[in-house]
Amino acid sequence: MEDSKTVEKTSKDKTSSAVKRKNVLKKLDLESAKLLASIKDKANKKNYGRKIKDAEIIAKALSLVESQHIQDLQEMTLSEKDRLHIAHDDFQKKNGKISLDQFIGKLLKGQINQQQAPI
């Protein structure tokens, strides 16, 4: 009787850990989850050794991230309003104080030729 309870608890523990693992994957967008599954399938096409886990693939990928990748990610998160404020701040550093309204007016009139500046 006690053994069956132990078995039930063990199976519940396995289920809860599987649920937690699936919840982590739910945080990935569908395209990334498919890519991860594809990479995992390719990596596990081998004759020997244990199966490669999702976490191992992700850890390896994260170790390959460089500063340029981080800059690209930061650039992706900027809104057009953020870009406008960055351009305004850069213009002020080079040319002195000017209000945002005046800056926008000069941009619209073509008096300012703003080059895209890095972050």
pLDDT digits (tens, 9 = 90+) for 16-75: 444 445 555 678 888 988 999 999 999 999 999 999 999 999 999 999 999 999 999 999
Judge whether 69 lies within some domain: no
Judge whether 71 lies within some domain: no
Judge whether 54 lies within some domain: yes
Judge whether 20 lies within some domain: yes
In the predicted structure, residue 89 carries a pLDDT above the cut 60: yes
pLDDT of residue 17: 47
Judge whether 70 lies within some domain: no
Residues 44 and 92 in one domain: no
Q: Are 54 and 25 in contact (CB under 8 A)?
A: yes
* Structural domain span for residue 94: 77-119
In the predicted structure, residue 88 carries a pLDDT above the cut 70: yes
Give me the residue label for tokens 């390959």: 64
pLDDT of residue 112: 85
**Residue type at 116?**
Q
| Token duo for residue 42 | 């390719």
Residue 24's CB: how many other CB atoms inside 10 A? 11
Residues 88 and 113 in one domain: yes
- Exposed/middle/buried for 103, CB within 10 Å: 0-12, 13-18, 19+? buried
pLDDT of residue 28: 82
